[in-house]
Each structure stands twice: as structure tokens, then as C-alpha cells.
Amino acid sequence: MTKTSQPKSHASKADSSNDLAVTGADAVLRVLEDLGVEVIFGYPGGAVLPIYDALFKRNSIRHILVRHEQAAVHAAEGYARSTGKVGVVLVTSGPGATNAVTGLTDALMDSIPILCLTGQVPTHLIGNDAFQEADTVGITRPCTKHNYLVKQAENLVPVLYEAFHVASSGRPGPVVVDLPKDIQFAEIDMGQVEPAKTKAVSRYRPVMTPDADAIRQAADMITSASRPIIYGGGGIINSGDEASEHLRELVALTGFPTTLTLMGLGVLPSEDKHFLGMLGMHGTYEANMSMYHCDVMLNVGARFDDRVTGLTSGFSPHSQKIHIDIDKSSINKNIRVDLGIVGDAGIALKMLVDEVKKRKAAIKKDALSEWWKKIEEWRAVRCLEYNQTGDIIKPQYAIHRLWQKCKDNDVYVTTEVGQHQMWAAQYFGFNAPKRWMTSGGLGTMGYGLPAAMGVQIGNPGKTVIDIAGEASFMMNMQELSTIAQYQLPVKIFIINNEWMGMVRQWQELIHGGRYSESYSASLPDFQKLADCFGMKGLVAKVTDDLDPVIDEMLGTDGPVLVDVRVAKEENCFPMIPSGATHNQMLLGPNDKAAKPVSEEGMVLV
Amino acid sequence: MSQHMNNDEVRHTLSILVDNEPGVLARVIGLFSGRGYNIESLTVAGVDETKNLSRISIVTRGTPMVIEQVKAQLDRIVPVHMVRDLTQQGLHIERELALIKVVNKGEARIEALRIADTFRANTLDSTLESFVFEVTGSSSKISAFVELMRSLGHVEVSRTGVSAISRGLNVDMPIRTQNETKD
Ligand SMILES: Cc1ncc(C[n+]2csc(CCOP(=O)(O)OP(=O)(O)O)c2C)c(N)n1
């Protein structure tokens, strides 16, 4: 089908008589165009210059020039998560590829479809410690769903199609394709594209449709429950919007209490009366207590993460557990379940709704209303209540106000990592899937700003807000330049407590208040920072400033950087302390003495 | 309720059919090291040239929950086509081949030959002061043979690791027969 020719003759070969013959670089773009790719997030360098040249000549796909390759991947993640499409990244060899590693790991942990193209030194130099050579497939093997090194030109097109397919199907994830420079110059016969496309999907075929018997069994189990709970996760969002609709139908049909993971927020509207709030370490009291006391648990598209379970030996001890997941390896990994069902969340939920409809009469209405009474008692604890008095802005209040001012519009929120992230999850409500982008699995500070860029590019005209901590913001703040270049109207809402707040909180609770290296010293003047990038900067210093500042931020067409000076030593509650079970939540600052963190708990992250 | 699980570690022999492509072994080994699973033995070789498939035999040890994880994790790897748990399936054969060099003199040489004979070992090489034996059998048979040789001189051992296949007429991992056409 194709031949790898010597470097010098490449260009002329590509211009040869066969008009289906193109250069490797050109083939890369043609494949991406064919796959419907609209935008690439990238950064050039020697080993990808042929592809950049092709980008320039073809002018068919938009390229967003970031300021750091990590940000390229996070931007692609934001784009992917908010649109449901694959995020595409292009970086050079060596440092370009190694800079992308954090983003790739983040995408792996949160199951985000990413196709990352990396340049590589020419094949004859691989292994020679050539300039800007890194063993990219070796380095990225554990942080990708799959990766490829294209060593033969004839493999280029098939590999690209398969890589895209692998990234986007089954449990989505990042896929790296490493492209040596000579392959980018090689002659490729585009006449062979159709067979390559067929083959691309033939090798990797994840199970989508679950076993019908298992679904019937699940329907039997949940309809005969006295204290049921639905626990939904990011898998529902990844499955597509219909999956959320089916879940909503199931909730409406059964009247079952429902909780969502950090990654699943938006699957059920935050104000739905069946919604107990997020569960887990900083989830609500009612969500965690209901998880603990339930008798049947239906987990759809969540993975019993340790931030959700607390101490696993005491996790929901009296329940029968059903787990629906597209990834068989997530089932029985952390928590042993009674019924594991492998399949796509949307398809499974649809089938389950149909089966539950047939059994609707079996639902134990009396037991269920008893159960709801119990849950209302837990709700009455009002675990998210905070006290906003005086001039000092409470971080919870800042986010709560932001939400109240956004709630009637379709806004998109990203976050960084830390207390502000948890407060955002607690106090900002979401009514639809794909509106909430946060680094859940890896907890990557510096995610939110570039992710917001990607969200904005995927959703032009929509309001996109990065709820940030000042320390996290500074991890990728070079991206202000990208935001300025493309005039992305991203709103950066910094909850500025002058501390790495989450670190400070753990030091207070677990390390005797020894605040080792967790102070955010030498902060810039954020208003001036905004100014020097040509964007609007605002500051809210006291409570009365807050509403006008939020209004001005939301009313501004361009990018805005807001510095919200908040109470410095506020802690994030409620909290399952590490090493405790999920029914042993700390509800507030006065709770901590009663239940000190155990020694085993101290070693946990 | 569902928390009560068996925490005893058990030994399982797995067969894995993979595409014979660069990096596939690194993926499998990386999975075991990255997730802290045990590898007692691992062997790999091509088994189907037309389809370009290799077969990996792995002996691992873990609790039943971990063994389930190992299999599910292996199954997720894109170039992995099939994972079979021979231990779970029941009757199967495990064989290993070993080359053992023993350097000794006098009476011990005669004893070494006698033992080699009872183990049906082949003598592949001999000098006046050494033998190289080839033994096949179960891992425990080979270990027993090595132990005996150790008491008879200086010993060097090279073992292949376990290769395994199920008994009976079930063909779990068929390779292409000669008259099958290419697709
Ligand atoms: C890249 C990275 N480095 C370190 C950490 C550990 N870490 C978790 S939260 C946190 C502090 C975050 O501070 P800030 O962004 O100001 O948010 P706050 O907790 O104050 O809301 C740190 C250092 C991390 N999550 N990511």
C-alpha cells in the first residue's frame, strides 16, 4: 500500500502522479478531517513541523496554540467533557510529550476521550538518545488507554482510525500516537482508507449491551428493596445524554433516593427532590448515611472510589449491591458486589427502566416512605449550612451567590483542585450533564483554567467559569495569554484564601496545626495581572462587593479575572476523615475533637 | 453482606492470546508491576504466524478477588484477544523445561547420572567434570531435580517457566489451520 522512502525524496514523492498519494503529515490531517475533528489543541516543535505545515496549507482544522502542553491536554479534556466529542492534542517530541503526561494521566483517571499526537525523532534515530528524543510510548504506556508508535508508513492511517476508535468507545480514555518525523514526510496512499476504517473498529469491541437476565435480576432486586439507593457516576455522562434521561426516568418511576459522585453531577438536576447531593469525603451527610443504611444499592457508572467509600471494611454493610459498568475491571475491584453487570450505562438504564415498569406494583411504597422519613431526618441536619455574618466573605457564600446568579442560565463550570473544588461541588447546582468539568481521579491543580478554554471553544457563546483556588490558578496561569489571544470570554473566579486551603485543612486536622509550606506567599495583584493580559480584573474584598462583582463579571463579554478575598481559615465540611467509615462524618469544626483521625487514617491520602 | 470474601491466596495459571506487536509484553508486565500483582512465571512465544498471535502463559498468586481483577485488567488491554484461567477451568497440563549444569567429580557424577535417569532427563553435554541435563515436567518436579543436583556439585540452572494447556478436546485458543484462507 505504501512505501517509506528516504527522507530527501519524500516531498517529491508526495507530489507524484498518483493523486491519492499524500505525505504522512497531510494524511494525518485528512484522517482527522474525516473523523469530524474541528479543533486541535497544540504546541509546535521540530518533530511535528511537517504536521504544522500541513495545518497551515490545508487550513481545515482550527488550531488553538496553548502556552504549555499540559494545558493542551486539559483544554482538550474540557472540550471533550463538555461536548461529548474526542479532544485532539498535538505536541512535539521529548519535552512536548513529557509535558503532556499529567494531562494524559488526568484523562485516564477520569475516562476522557483524548487523541494525543506526539512528534518523534525519525525512525532511524530512535534509541540513539537523539535530540528531543524520549521514549514516549514507554513513558505514556501506564497513563494511556492505549498507545502506538508508527514505524511503518503503511500503518499510519489504520493506526489513526483505530486510535480514535479506542479513545472514544467503551470506557473512554486518552490514546497517544507517536509519529516519527520521517513518517510525516513519507508517501501515503489514501486509496486504502476504507479498509483501514473497517479494520479500525474490528479489533477493539467493548461489550455495550448488558445481559438481559442480569438486568431482570437487578429489576427484581431494586423493586423488592425497602431501603434502596441509586448511586450514579461519570459513566452516565460518558454514555451520552440519553443515559441521564433514562436515569431521570428511573428515579421518577421508582421515587428512589439518588446520590451522584463528583464526576456524575448534573445527571440529575440538583434541585430534584430525590437528589441527596454528592456523596463521599465531602459529600452530604444524607447521601453518605443513606449509602450506609440502604438495603439495596444500584451503582451505575461509578467505581467505588476510595473518596466515596471511606474505610471499605465498613462500607454499606447491610446492602445488596448491584454495579453496572462498561469496564469489567471496575466491578469487584474495591467493593465486592452481589450483581455485576457489564455494559453501557445508557443501554443498561433503558433496559432497566423497561423491566422496572413491569414490576412497578412490587415497589414497597410503605417501606419506601419510612425510608424517606429517615432520610429527611438526616437532611434536617442541614450539613451544608454555613454562617455568613459580617464583612468577611465566606467561600461557601461566594460560590452559593455565584450559583444563584447563574442558575437560570446554561453555564459551564470548571474547577481547580482543593477546598474551592469541593465547595463548588456542594454549593453550585447543575441541571444537565456535561456542565461540570473537574479533575476527580487525579486531582490535578491547574486543570481548571485550560479546561475552561477547551469548554469555551466547544461551546461558543456560553458562559464558562473556572472556580479556582489562588494556588491552583498559578499552576497554569500562563494560559491567560492563550485566553487573551483567542479572546475567550472565560470567567476566572478565584476563591482567594491565601492558603493552599485543602493542605492547610489537613495540617490543621491531622498534623497539629503545623502549617508547613502551605501558605500562598507573594501572590500577584490579580487585578493588575488581568490588566497586563488585557482583560478585566475585579476584586471583591467584603461581602457587599460580592454581588456587584459577580454581576459585572457575568455581564462582561470578554474574559474576566475575579479575585474574591475570602475567609482564610475556613474548612470544608462535612468530611469523612481518612480512615473512618462513611457514616462517621465530621459535620463541622466542633466535631473534630470527638473523633480524632486514627493512625491508619493518617497514612491515607 | 457481600463483604465476606475469601482472603486466602491461590495460585492460578492463565493463558493469554495477544497480538504479536511491539510493546505487548511490556503492557502485560507493566500491568502486573503497576498494580502490585504477583508473577511467579511468565512465558511467551508466537503461536500463529498468519494471524500474528502470541500466547503468554502466566502463573500468578492472589486472593480470588485479585485473580478476578488480574483477568479483567488483562482483558482491557487492546492487543489482548483472550484470557483463559486454566486453574479455574479445571484439568490442564503445565510443563516446564529446564537446562541444568552440574560440575562435580568422582562418586557424585555417578549419582547425578542415576538421578537424571529417574527423572528422565536427557544428557545434552558432558565433560570429564560436568553434565548438562535437560528435564521437562511440572515446576515442582524440576525444583526437586535441581535440589538433588545442588547436593552433588556446583549447579547452574536455566528454566523456561510454565507453559500450559487445557486437557480434553476443547480448543480454547484455536490457531488458523493450514487450509483456512486469509481474510
Ligand atoms: C499538581 C498538584 N500538586 C499538589 C496537589 C496537592 N494539593 C491538593 S489541594 C492543594 C491546595 C490547593 O490550594 P488552592 O488552589 O489555593 O485551593 P484551596 O484549597 O485553597 O481552595 C494542594 C497543594 C495537587 N492536588 N495537585
Measured in angstroms, the CA of B81 and the nearest CA of chain A are apart by 8
pLDDT 10s digits, A56-114: 999 999 999 999 999 999 999 999 999 999 999 999 999 999 999 999 999 999 999 99
Angle at CA A209, nearest 5°, toward B14 and B65? 35
Q: Is B23 on the interface with A (CB under 8 A)?
A: yes
The 8 Å CB, 24+ separation contacts for B30-37 are B30/A141, B30/A142, B31/B73, B31/B74, B31/B77, B32/B58, B32/B60, B32/B70, B34/A142, B35/B69, B35/B73, B37/B62, B37/B66, B37/B69, B37/B70
Cα(A346)–Cα(A326) distance, rounded to whole angstroms?
Answer: 10
Please state the φ and ψ torsions of residue B163, each to the nearest 5 degrees: -115, 140
Instruction: Give the position of cell 428511573.
Output: A250
Q: Where do the DSSP E strands lie in A410-522?
A: 411-415, 436-437, 463-469, 491-496
Give the CATH number for residue B76.
Answer: 3.30.70.260
The answer, yes or no, to whether residue A13 has pLDDT greater than 70, is no
Lowest mean pLDDT among A17-21, A314-318, A568-572: A17-21
Domain end position, chosen among B48, B64, B90: B90
Domain end position, chosen among B67, B90, B113: B90
Which of A417, A428, A578 gets mutated to test ligand 1 (max ligand atoms within 8 A of its CB)? A417
Measured in angstroms, the CA of A134 and the nearest CA of chain B are apart by 16
Q: Which three cell numbers stand for residue A122?
A: 525519525
pLDDT 10s digits, A299-345: 999 999 999 999 999 999 999 999 999 999 999 999 999 999 999 99
Q: How far is the CA of B90 from the centre of ligand 1 (A)?
A: 51
Q: Is the peptide bond before A450 cis (omega within 30 degrees of 0)?
A: no
Domain annotation covers residue B65: yes
Residues B80 and B115 in one domain: no
Cα(A421)–Cα(A398) distance, rounded to whole angstroms?
Answer: 13
Domain annotation covers residue B115: yes
Q: Is A199 on the interface with B (CB under 8 A)?
A: no
Instruction: Give the position of cell 484439568.
Output: B91
CB contacts, 8 Å: A313 with chain B: 3
pLDDT band (50, 70, 90) for residue A19: low
Give the CATH number for residue B98.
Answer: 3.30.70.1150
Domain of residue B34 covers 2-90
pLDDT 10s digits, A233-260: 999 999 999 999 999 999 999 999 999 9
pLDDT value for B14: 98
The answer, yes or no, to whether residue A594 has pLDDT greater than 90, is no
CA of A416, closest atom in ligand 1: 15
Measured in angstroms, the CA of A553 and the nearest CA of chain B are apart by 45
B16 and B162 in contact (C-beta within 8 Å)? no
CB contacts, 8 Å: B68 with chain A: 332
Longest dimension (CA), chain B: 67
Q: Cβ–Cβ of A332/B75 closer than 8 Å?
A: no
Q: Is A291 on the interface with B (CB under 8 A)?
A: no
Domain annotation covers residue B177: no
Residues B105 and B155 in one domain: yes
- Work out whether the CA dihedral A524, A530, A534, A538 comes out positive or negative: negative
The one-letter amino acid code at B54 reads: S
pLDDT 10s digits, A509-538: 999 999 999 999 999 999 999 999 999 999
pLDDT value for A592: 61
The answer, yes or no, to whether residue A5 has pLDDT greater than 60, is no
Domain annotation covers residue B182: no
pLDDT value for A18: 55
Residues 270-289 of A with CB under 8 A from B: none
Cα(A339)–Cα(A356) distance, rounded to whole angstroms?
Answer: 16
The answer, yes or no, to whether residue A10 has pLDDT greater than 80, is no
pLDDT 10s digits, A123-164: 999 999 999 999 999 999 999 999 999 999 999 999 999 999
What is the distance in angstroms between the CA of the first residue and the CA of the last residue of chain B? 50
The answer, yes or no, to whether residue B2 has pLDDT greater than 80, is no
Q: Cβ–Cβ of A149/B73 closer than 8 Å?
A: no
Nearest-CA neighbor of A341 among A399, A293, A300?
A300
pLDDT value for A379: 97
Cα(A297)–Cα(A321) distance, rounded to whole angstroms?
Answer: 5
Q: Which residues of B6-19 are buried (b: 16+ CB within 10 A; e: fewer)?
A: eeeeeebbbbbbbe
Residues B81 and B97 in one domain: no
Catalytic residues of A: 69, 131-132, 181, 502
* HSE of A571, CA atoms in CB hemisphere, 13 A: 21
Q: Cβ–Cβ of B2/A321 closer than 8 Å?
A: yes
The answer, yes or no, to whether residue B183 has pLDDT greater than 90, is no
Q: Is A166 on the interface with B (CB under 8 A)?
A: yes
Cα(A194)–Cα(A569) distance, rounded to whole angstroms?
Answer: 61
Q: Is A135 on the interface with B (CB under 8 A)?
A: no
**ipTM value of the model?**
0.91
Residues B75 and B86 in one domain: yes
Measured in angstroms, the CA of A372 and the nearest CA of chain B are apart by 23
- In DSSP notation, A512-571 reads TT--TT-B--S---HHHHHHHTTSEEEEE-SHHHHHHHHHHHHH-SS-EEEEEEB-TT--
pLDDT band (50, 70, 90) for residue A600: confident
Residues B7 and B86 in one domain: yes
In total, how many domains does chain B have? 2
pLDDT 10s digits, A164-218: 999 999 999 999 999 999 999 999 999 888 888 998 999 999 999 999 999 999 9
Cα(A394)–Cα(A568) distance, rounded to whole angstroms?
Answer: 9
Domain end position, chosen among B37, B67, B90: B90
Q: Which three cell numbers stand for residue B11?
A: 495460585
pLDDT value for A385: 96
Q: Which three cell numbers stand for residue A199?
A: 479494520
When the pLDDT of each residue in chain A is averaged and rounded to a whole number, the result is 95
Q: Is A331 on the interface with B (CB under 8 A)?
A: yes
Say whether B128 sits in a helix, a strand or coil.
coil
pLDDT 10s digits, A471-515: 999 999 999 999 999 999 999 999 999 999 999 999 999 999 999
Domain annotation covers residue B179: no
Domain annotation covers residue B42: yes
Kind of pairing between the strands at B80-85 and B10-19: antiparallel
pLDDT value for A591: 78
Residues B7 and B81 in one domain: yes
Q: Cβ–Cβ of A328/B27 closer than 8 Å?
A: no
The answer, yes or no, to whether residue B172 has pLDDT greater than 50, is yes
Residues B146 and B127 in one domain: yes
Residues B83 and B30 in one domain: yes
Nearest-CA neighbor of A182 among A32, A14, A368, A301?
A14
pTM of the model as a whole: 0.95
Residues B47 and B83 in one domain: yes
Q: Which three cell numbers stand for residue A410?
A: 446554561
Domain annotation covers residue B175: no
pLDDT band (50, 70, 90) for residue B4: very low
The answer, yes or no, to whether residue A593 has pLDDT greater than 50, is no
The four Cα atoms A121, A125, A129, A135 give a dihedral, to 10 degrees, of: 50
Cα(A322)–Cα(A348) distance, rounded to whole angstroms?
Answer: 12
The answer, yes or no, to whether residue B100 has pLDDT greater than 50, is yes
Chain B interface, mutation test: which of A136, A313, A327, A329, most B Cβ atoms within 10 Å? Answer: A329
Domain annotation covers residue B107: yes
Cα(A204)–Cα(A36) distance, rounded to whole angstroms?
Answer: 21
B53 and B17 in contact (C-beta within 8 Å)? yes
List residues near ligand 1 (CB under 6 A).
A 416-420, 443-445, 469-472, 495, 497, 499-503
Residues B27 and B78 in one domain: yes
Print the SS3 string covering A186-235.
Answer: CEEEHHHHHHHHHHHHHCCCCCCCCCHHHHHHHHHHHHCCCCEEEEECHH
Residues B85 and B97 in one domain: no
Residues B78 and B126 in one domain: no
Lowest mean pLDDT among A300-314, A346-360, A590-604, B46-60: A590-604
Burial class (CB in 10 A: 0-12, 13-18, 19+), A411: buried
pLDDT value for B3: 44
* Residue with CA at minimum distance from ligand 1 atom 5: A445
When the pLDDT of each residue in chain B is averaged and rounded to a whole number, the result is 93
